């Protein structure tokens, strides 16, 4: 980034805020910010009157006076789309609006995937009912249900009967208001850009459940050429669809990573994604050797950027800034890795009656002193918000920490010590991990994709143990 460049960052919170503060200190960069925090009050009160077009119009009017020459955002709900709209309006480099919409509209994305990589798709269908309306009879269960447009696994879960699906789609007036306000900005733009025949985003999608390990492929497209950054393994709490931790380096065999890269290349070309960072979520069943797509996120997975920086020395936020100003992310210098393994540890409870104690100032200080490389994110919430989390997510995520270690064993030991300081149980549990492949790769930038024989879709009805989550947390 040169001294003539000034970047607008939309919805700059959590990992993004930390990374941009670091880049400002390291390189003397200057950022301006816009957008509110959906997860804190009173900032999230802006949801009541948020209008995407008015938001972008206001920023476009301010752009010249503020000296902005590029825009970036990694926020799923509004940020990625708003950044694409503003870049389009101003003639700045950016991901195309149509590609953002195609990736975020889960039904549209499934249809696009079916055209170019059916072997990596699952059986899917639209739930022909508005939010809160009666669900149709005659469906075959179990099913995995999720909103066509949502983030952070909201309302995504397996249902095993008509009664479960009916109960899952019952909402109070306040819940319906929140859902509609979250989805409507996207819905208006999808109708305008994708066409009137595209099903409403105020719907839910039904999918074939799957049992498999989950991983994420992260990368970018520049001048139409796709490059991988790396792969992150997602470990679930046993017998749930809730993330317990996210780890690098990946244990996934390099050959499977190559297959995922090939699927990503076909899909992104199909939806016209020619510029920008992306994150794609996959299932991989080692027994059947089946690889299936969970979903597509047309922006950086910010939660993972810190992990790549620790283990690979790859600065994804600096890469995002390069893309925002039309420069090749490959030109961003790598740093010396600080760890051999790193993870994002998620702390959550599944029983509403279970007491959660957030760290005191003394405990947080002790964590910072003992683990100066660590990141700590406690998530205090009101009773009502916690109740809504249990209904919409099936759990309450009350904290996240990031740590690095020499290797996986050292990382676990550090996590257990850090968790003890915070008064939290370490997010580890026994699970059937794949043996580490001798030829595993954590980055496929520039690698040639491997070919494989298409695998017939598996029969519906398998219990799910992964997540169709969005936003990675």
**Mean predicted confidence (pLDDT) in 6-22:** 95
Q: Looking at the predicted structure, is the pLDDT value of residue 413 above 80? A: yes
Q: What is the pLDDT of residue 370?
A: 98
Q: What is the pLDDT of residue 251?
A: 95
pLDDT band at 465 (very low <50, low <70, confident <90, very high): very low
Q: Are 373 and 396 in contact (CB under 8 A)?
A: no
Q: What is the pLDDT of residue 153?
A: 62
Q: Which two tokens stand for residue 358?
A: 């957030």
Rounded to 10 deg, the angle between the 97-104 and 79-90 helix axes is: 160
Angle, CA 155 vertex, CA 153 and CA 158 arms, to 5°: 90
Q: What is the pLDDT of residue 138?
A: 93
pLDDT band at 239 (very low <50, low <70, confident <90, very high): confident
53-57, 193-197, 270-274: range with lowest mean pLDDT = 193-197
Average pLDDT value for the chain: 87
**Mean predicted confidence (pLDDT) in 138-165:** 87
Q: Which residue has the higher pLDDT, 440 or 416?
A: 416
**Mean predicted confidence (pLDDT) in 416-421:** 98
**Mean predicted confidence (pLDDT) in 375-396:** 88
Q: What is the pLDDT of residue 43?
A: 65
**Mean predicted confidence (pLDDT) in 332-347:** 97
Q: Looking at the predicted structure, is the pLDDT value of residue 168 above 60? A: yes
Q: What is the pLDDT of residue 346?
A: 97
**Mean predicted confidence (pLDDT) in 60-87:** 96
* Interatomic CA distance for residues 385 and 377, integer angstroms: 17
pLDDT band at 460 (very low <50, low <70, confident <90, very high): very low
pLDDT band at 160 (very low <50, low <70, confident <90, very high): very high
Q: What is the pLDDT of residue 41?
A: 63
Query: pLDDT of 131-151, one tens digit each?
Result: 888 899 999 999 999 999 976
């Amino acid at each position: 980034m040169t001294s003539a460049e000034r970047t607008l960052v939309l919805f700059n919170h959590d990992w993004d805020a930390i990374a941009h503060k670091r880049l400002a200190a390291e390189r003397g960069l200057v950022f301006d910010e816009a957008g509110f925090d959906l997860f804190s009050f009173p900032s999230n009160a802006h949801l009541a009157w948020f209008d995407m077009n008015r938001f972008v119009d206001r920023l476009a009017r301010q752009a010249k006076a503020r000296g902005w020459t590029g825009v970036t955002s990694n926020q799923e709900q509004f940020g990625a789309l708003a950044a694409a709209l503003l870049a389009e309006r101003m003639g700045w480099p950016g991901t195309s609006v149509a590609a953002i919409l195609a990736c975020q509209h889960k039904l549209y994305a499934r249809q696009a995937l079916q055209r170019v990589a059916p072997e990596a798709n699952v059986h899917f269908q639209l739930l022909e009912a508005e939010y809160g309306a009666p669900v149709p009879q005659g469906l075959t269960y179990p099913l995995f249900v999720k909103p066509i447009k949502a983030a952070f696994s909201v309302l995504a879960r397996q249902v095993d009967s008509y009664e479960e699906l009916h109960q899952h789609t019952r909402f109070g007036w306040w819940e319906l208001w929140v859902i509609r306000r979250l989805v409507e900005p996207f819905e208006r733009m999808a109708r305008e850009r994708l066409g009137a025949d595209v099903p409403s985003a105020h719907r839910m999608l039904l999918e074939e459940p799957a049992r498999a390990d989950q991983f994420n492929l992260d990368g970018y497209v520049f001048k139409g050429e796709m490059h991988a950054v790396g792969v992150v393994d997602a470990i679930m709490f046993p017998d749930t669809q809730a993330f317990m931790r996210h780890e690098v380096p990946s244990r996934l065999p390099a050959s499977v990573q190559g297959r995922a890269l090939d699927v990503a290349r076909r899909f992104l070309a199909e939806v016209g994604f020619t510029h920008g960072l992306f994150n794609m979520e996959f299932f991989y069943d080692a027994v059947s050797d089946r690889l299936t797509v969970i979903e597509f996120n047309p922006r950086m997975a910010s939660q993972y950027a810190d992990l790549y920086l620790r283990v690979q020395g790859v600065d994804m936020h600096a890469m995002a800034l390069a893309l925002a100003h039309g420069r090749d992310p490959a030109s961003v210098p790598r740093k010396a890795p600080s760890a051999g393994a790193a993870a994002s540890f998620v702390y959550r409870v599944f029983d509403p009656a279970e007491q959660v104690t957030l760290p005191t100032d003394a405990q947080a200080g002790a964590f910072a002193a003992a683990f100066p490389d660590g990141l700590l994110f406690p998530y205090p919430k009101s009773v009502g918000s916690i109740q809504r989390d249990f209904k919409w997510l099936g759990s309450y995520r009350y904290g996240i920490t990031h740590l690095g270690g020499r290797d996986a064993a050292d990382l676990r030991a550090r996590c257990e010590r850090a968790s003890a300081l915070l008064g939290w149980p370490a997010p580890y549990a026994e699970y059937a991990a794949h043996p580490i492949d001798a030829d595993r790769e954590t980055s496929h930038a520039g690698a040639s994709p491997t070919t494989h024989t298409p695998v017939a879709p598996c029969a519906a009805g398998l219990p799910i143990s992964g997540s169709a989550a969005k936003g990675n947390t």
